[in-house]
Homo-oligomer: A and B are copies of this chain.
Amino acid sequence: MTNTWLITNVRQGNGPHVDRKVDVSIVDGRIAAIGPDLPREPGVTPEDGAGALLLPGFVEGHTHLDKTLWGMRWYRNEVGPKLTDRIENERRYRAQTGHDAGAQSLALARAFLEAGTTRLRTHVDIDTDAGLRHLEGVLATRETLRDMLDLQIVAFPQSGLLGRPGTDALLARALQAGADVLGALDPALIDGDPVASLNLTFELAQRHGKPIDIHLHEPGELGAFTLGLLLDRVEALGMQGRVVVSHAFCLGALPEPQRDALLARLADLRVALLTTAPSSTPVPPLKACLQHGVTLFGGNDGIRDTWTPYGSPDMLERAMHIAARYGLRRDDDLALAFDCVSSVAAQACGFGDYGLQAGARADLVLLDADTLAHAMVARPPRKLVVSNGRVVARNGAYAAGAIEA
């Protein structure tokens, strides 16, 4: 049992059991047991958790590692207000700077690990200017961190699917080259033809046997219309449980009966929703989603890039934003926001063997906080981050140089 490891004296749970002291035993990168007073194996020196709060490794459900300027000199944002302004501005920036998506994605992915995220879905730009260059950079990052970070890649047509001929062929190549999921973007407002755009997206996904994760920023009635077209195709093509709709702002701004009819259909077709919980935009309603059985999970979107100055690789901060966006104050409600960046995100993205139970991959975070809600608002440095049974960070500092591939 050379791979046996024991972490003692940590606190688990949220609520009456938050003071339950447990040990965690890890064998071959997996949780073997969690419970009080686990037996010490001979020859194994236990790690003393010193009463820290035990949380599962966090899950980032939607970011753009390839875009980030993390760690670079501050980018001064002077961008216009429209979505197309931001797309064109980014295109110019890349042409001028030769932005290195490999180096940048690696820098930010390490920061995610440092803060306790061990599973991550990133969208990667595929377009006719950059070709597969960003994908290649992020694939290199995935390879470097393969023993620590579960990194899912969405091949994302940031400039639209229909407007630039050849984009569909690039997406196909991206899916063959290692992208896990097919992305898409505003079939009406960007592509100008929701039916043709969605048909091509679903055709590509089916041909390559990949799930879909679509950015749908389209507001109100237009978004509802596009969402309806999308759900028709999920149903007709048997893609239940294989589609995520990111943002879905429209669901935050529809009359309740119309919204609830869409939620019922989303639940029925097992289409999940992703929110970044932006404070200036309508968002899908968390509690109504829970009532209807719709999966709603969370992510940052871009982090410090030419689009936005905001975002953080600390998913506890995102959980706090989600909780605040939904007006949650009670501890049991804050736990729902944490679920969005942990168990629910893992389930929605299909990250397996997740959680704090025997048999799951040993992805653990220890930090000094009284409770989960306290952790979300105080966000103390992570005392210990374990991924796949390995120590990847201690006291907020990345400790994994030696085990990168």
A-side interface residues toward B, CB under 8 Å?
Answer: 15, 73-74, 76-79, 277-281, 304, 307-312, 320-321, 324-327, 329-332, 334, 369-371, 373-374, 376-377
Is there an interface contact between B373 and A324, defined as CB atoms closer than 8 Å? no
Nearest-neighbour CB distance to chain B for A351, whole angstroms, equals 28
Nearest-neighbour CB distance to chain B for A335, whole angstroms, equals 11
Given contacts A280-B324, A325-B279, contact A78 B330 (CB under 8 A): yes
Is there an interface contact between B371 and A76, defined as CB atoms closer than 8 Å? yes
- A374 contacts which chain B residues (CB < 8 A)? 74, 309
Is there an interface contact between A310 and B281, defined as CB atoms closer than 8 Å? no
Which of B278, B324, B326 is within 8 Å of A310, CB to CB? B324
Q: How far is the CA of A73 from the CA of B331 in the complex (A)?
A: 14
Is there an interface contact between B321 and A334, defined as CB atoms closer than 8 Å? no
Sorted nearest first, the 10 A-B pairs with minimum C-beta distance are A279-B279, A280-B327, A74-B370, A74-B374, A279-B325, A74-B371, A77-B330, A76-B331, A279-B324, A309-B377
Given contacts A330-B78, A330-B79, contact A309 B279 (CB under 8 A): no
Is there an interface contact between B370 and A73, defined as CB atoms closer than 8 Å? yes
Nearest-neighbour CB distance to chain B for A312, whole angstroms, equals 8
Q: Which residue of B lies closest to A311 (CB)?
A: B377
Is there an interface contact between B327 and A281, defined as CB atoms closer than 8 Å? yes
Nearest-neighbour CB distance to chain B for A296, whole angstroms, equals 15
Q: How far is the CA of A76 from the CA of B304 in the complex (A)?
A: 34
- A277 contacts which chain B residues (CB < 8 A)? 279
17 contacts between A and B (CB under 8 A): A73-B370, A74-B370, A74-B374, A77-B330, A77-B373, A79-B329, A277-B279, A280-B324, A281-B327, A304-B377, A308-B329, A309-B329, A309-B376, A309-B377, A310-B320, A310-B324, A312-B377
Q: How far is the CA of A326 from the CA of B310 in the complex (A)?
A: 13
Nearest-neighbour CB distance to chain B for A199, whole angstroms, equals 33
Q: Which residue of B lies closest to A330 (CB)?
A: B77
Q: How many copies does the complex hold?
A: 2
Where chain A touches its partner, the secondary structure class is loop
- A312 contacts which chain B residues (CB < 8 A)? 377
Q: How far is the CA of A280 from the CA of B325 in the complex (A)?
A: 5
Is there an interface contact between A77 and B331, defined as CB atoms closer than 8 Å? yes
Q: Which residue of B lies closest to A77 (CB)?
A: B330
Which of B308, B326, B376 is within 8 Å of A280, CB to CB? B326
Using A78-B331, A281-B327 as known contacts, list a sample of 8 further A-B pairs with CB atoms less than 8 Å apart, ordered by residue number in A: A74-B373, A76-B331, A76-B373, A77-B330, A77-B373, A307-B329, A309-B374, A309-B376
- A77 contacts which chain B residues (CB < 8 A)? 329-331, 373
- A377 contacts which chain B residues (CB < 8 A)? 304, 309-312
Q: Which residue of B lies closest to A312 (CB)?
A: B377
Specify which of A281, A304, A307 lies most central, judged by the most chain B CB atoms within 10 Å of its CB: A304
- A330 contacts which chain B residues (CB < 8 A)? 77-79
- A278 contacts which chain B residues (CB < 8 A)? 324, 327
- A304 contacts which chain B residues (CB < 8 A)? 377
Q: Which residue of B lies closest to A280 (CB)?
A: B327
Q: How far is the CA of A279 from the CA of B15 in the complex (A)?
A: 26
Nearest-neighbour CB distance to chain B for A337, whole angstroms, equals 11
Specify which of A279, A304, A370 lies most central, judged by the most chain B CB atoms within 10 Å of its CB: A279
Q: How far is the CA of A325 from the CA of B277 in the complex (A)?
A: 11
Q: How far is the CA of A69 from the CA of B374 in the complex (A)?
A: 12
Is there an interface contact between A309 and B79, defined as CB atoms closer than 8 Å? no
Nearest-neighbour CB distance to chain B for A230, whole angstroms, equals 26
Q: How far is the CA of A280 from the CA of B279 in the complex (A)?
A: 7
- A311 contacts which chain B residues (CB < 8 A)? 377
Q: How far is the CA of A310 from the CA of B324 in the complex (A)?
A: 8
Specify which of A74, A304, A321, A374 lies most central, judged by the most chain B CB atoms within 10 Å of its CB: A74
